[in-house]
Amino acid sequence: MSFLNAYFLWILLPLAVYLFRGKKKQSLQQYLRWVALLFLVFAIARPVLVQHSNKETLPAHSIIIALDLSVSMNANDIKPSREKASRETIKALLEENLYDQISLIGFTTNPLLLSPSTTDHKLVAMALDAMKSEYLLTKGTKLKKLLKKVAQFPDQEKILLLFSDGGDEQVDEALVDFANESNIKVLVIAMATQSGSTISDKNEEVLKDKAGHIVVSKFNSSVGALGKVVPFEGVESTVSNIQKWIEEQKNLEDGVTRESHNYFELFFIPTFLALLFFFLSATRFSLKVVALLALLNIPLQAGNLHSAYEHYENEEYTATLEELSDIEPKTLESQLALGNTYYKLKKYKKAKSVFKTLKSTNPKIKQQLLYALGNCEAKMAYYEKAKNYYVKALQLGEDNDTLHNLELVIFFKDRDSSKVGFTNPNSAQASNNTTELEETEEEKPSSRKDEKSGSSGGGGSKKNKNSTVKVVKSTEASKSKREMSSKAYDLINEGYIREQKPW
């Protein structure tokens, strides 16, 4: 096996350094994402199996077309302009020549490879159309740099079709010797007349030199020293002359040798594995994988949650807390159980901080979280905050327990505000109110269905959410159930008016 894009494997080096030097412990989901990234890098590197290599000789040439894009090619002594006529001739040549490998270079002061050597002539034509000379900053003509670019091509003999007016510089012997030493055979297509023409800029104004004289561009005949010159005599006639010259070249007898390799692509394997591990890291399906690995005797902590439930049922809340603290990765189910355990241990601030970190798009679970937060605030005698949580919970659906607790916190809040000296929730009055909000051991009627660990009060047990965490009536309220005050109705109705997509 080999990699066609092996340089992408260098990405793994900083990745390995980061993972081995990282001191922070990461969750299972994070490790799965790193594995997914690893396989993705392998996929980008394109693993292949090399089956065999073929070498074939084609009865064709390797041709390099160079198009002059300097400002002088805008002259119109050749209609519609020198550059446009050159483009039309090149396109006609591409349609006429079906087998040759053709490269396309655009040049001014500097050359630019527009299309590498290919037999897909439609691709070359697309590259020709995409090249816009008006976007070029350089405006002159440098044949020396062009020939150096052509000399870099791997062909033993290079056939260069030069569409140009020759520029202004004289071609010297050194440049001719360089072309001969590099085995560059040049056919110059003279895209200018001997009489020449003025040049118009983009504002349609005649171009002048620094002395204010009108510039007249003519064909630079010294370019003929590089090779044969074919004057432009119309598109069809010029293409015919080019074809005749190409057929006279020596490499027609040898043809073009092309080496091809047959590969069996393997990129789909690491791609599939990358998607699989990313799926496992982004869904709760990874918990099932953890359970499967546990069955294979791989030491993981999949059974901690079950043990925590057993301790919770036996009211061993300290042991429950120890089991839940060791669970990785943290899930909604385990965190709900952790919050309810803190609540049972009367650590209401910690329970509140756990519940506030939990997020869910399920309206029922969201309602249960708001109910649990309201209970924590009520236990700490923050009745205004508790009231707000209960109102938000009722916006997501009717619930008798939430409605009853809302009545109680409004009652206690009004009672405290009517007494002088007990406005501080940490006062003795607040302590008395906290005592009145105790848990009940009464079970719900059998007609109510049990809920699973998603309940905010159940903490993972299969009892009703209100069987483990529930704020009940005070002694005074239990004797005669109070009617909801108009203030409570106003609060609920106000919440519905302001409600915006509670889910």
Reported as a single tens digit per residue, the pLDDT across 371-382 is 999 999 988 989
Among the residue ranges 101-115, 191-205, 223-237, 243-257, the one predicted with the least confidence is: 243-257
Among the residue ranges 14-18, 82-86, 280-284, the one predicted with the least confidence is: 280-284
The answer on 441 and 488 residing in a single domain is: yes
pLDDT score of 163: 95
Among the residue ranges 150-159, 217-226, 447-456, the one predicted with the least confidence is: 447-456
Please determine, for residue 339, whether its predicted confidence score (pLDDT) is greater than 80. yes
Assess if residue 96 is contained within a domain: yes
pLDDT score of 100: 82
Assess if residue 294 is contained within a domain: no
The answer on 102 and 249 residing in a single domain is: yes
Contacts with 117 (C-beta within 8 Å, 6 or more apart), sequence order: 62, 101, 102, 103, 153
Q: What is the pTM of this model?
A: 0.44
For residue 345 the two structure tokens come to: 């241990």
Assess if residue 18 is contained within a domain: yes
Place 17 in a pLDDT band, splitting at 50, 70 and 90. Answer: confident
pLDDT score of 264: 79
Of residues 44 and 310, more confidently modeled: 44
- Rounded CA separation 247/417 (Å): 106
Of residues 71 and 1, more confidently modeled: 71
The answer on 480 and 369 residing in a single domain is: yes
Please determine, for residue 486, whether its predicted confidence score (pLDDT) is greater than 70. no
The answer on 37 and 74 residing in a single domain is: no
Place 51 in a pLDDT band, splitting at 50, 70 and 90. Answer: low
363 prior amide bond cis, ω within 30: no
The answer on 64 and 50 residing in a single domain is: no
The answer on 457 and 368 residing in a single domain is: yes
Place 162 in a pLDDT band, splitting at 50, 70 and 90. Answer: very high
Assess if residue 159 is contained within a domain: yes
pLDDT score of 259: 61
Say how many domains are in the chain.
Answer: 3
pLDDT score of 260: 61
Say if CB 458 and CB 313 are below 8 A apart: no
Domain extent at residue 422: 330-498
Q: In what order do the strands lie in the sheet with 111-118?
A: 111-118, 101-107, 62-68, 158-164, 184-190, 227-231
Please determine, for residue 235, whether its predicted confidence score (pLDDT) is greater than 90. yes
Place 140 in a pLDDT band, splitting at 50, 70 and 90. Answer: confident
- Nearest CA among 227, 196, 222 for reference residue 66: 227
pLDDT score of 230: 93
pLDDT score of 276: 85
Of residues 135 and 426, more confidently modeled: 135
Rounded to 10 degrees, what is the CA torsion of 28, 33, 36, 41?
A: -140
The answer on 64 and 11 residing in a single domain is: no
Diameter over CA atoms, the chain: 117
Of residues 87 and 423, more confidently modeled: 87
Please determine, for residue 246, whether its predicted confidence score (pLDDT) is greater than 60. yes
Please determine, for residue 159, whether its predicted confidence score (pLDDT) is greater than 80. yes
Reported as a single tens digit per residue, the pLDDT across 174-200 is 999 999 999 999 999 999 988 888 887
Of residues 15 and 41, more confidently modeled: 41
Mean pLDDT of 54-81: 82
Place 478 in a pLDDT band, splitting at 50, 70 and 90. Answer: very low
The C-alpha R_g of the chain, in whole angstroms, comes to 42
Mean pLDDT of 196-209: 76
pLDDT score of 419: 64
DSSP at 213: P
The answer on 161 and 46 residing in a single domain is: no
Mean pLDDT of 312-334: 79
Mean pLDDT of 426-443: 40
- Which CATH number do you get for residue 364? 1.25.40.10
Say if CB 391 and CB 492 are below 8 A apart: yes
- Nearest CA among 495, 470, 483 for reference residue 387: 495
Assess if residue 272 is contained within a domain: yes
Please determine, for residue 489, whether its predicted confidence score (pLDDT) is greater than 70. no
User: CA angle, corner 249, sides to 247 and 255, nearest 5?
Assistant: 80
The answer on 340 and 486 residing in a single domain is: yes
Assess if residue 271 is contained within a domain: yes
- Nearest CA among 375, 388, 376 for reference residue 349: 376
**Amino acid at the residue 358:** L
Assess if residue 323 is contained within a domain: no
The answer on 17 and 139 residing in a single domain is: no
The answer on 151 and 131 residing in a single domain is: yes
User: CA angle, corner 341, sides to 336 and 345, nearest 5?
Assistant: 150
Mean pLDDT of 283-292: 53
- Rounded CA separation 413/387 (Å): 9
The answer on 92 and 33 residing in a single domain is: no
* Mean pLDDT of the residues in the chain: 76
C-beta atoms surrounding 222 within 10 Å = 16
Among the residue ranges 40-44, 57-61, 85-89, 366-370, the one predicted with the least confidence is: 57-61
Provide, rounded to the nearest whole percent, the portion of the chain with pLDDT above 70: 72
- Which CATH number do you get for residue 145? 3.40.50.410
At residue 90, φ and ψ (nearest 5 deg) are: -65, -45
- Rounded CA separation 126/315 (Å): 77
pLDDT score of 216: 83
Of residues 307 and 274, more confidently modeled: 274
Mean pLDDT of 385-397: 89
Assess if residue 421 is contained within a domain: yes
Provide, rounded to the nearest whole percent, the portion of the chain with pLDDT above 90: 20
Please determine, for residue 501, whether its predicted confidence score (pLDDT) is greater than 90. no
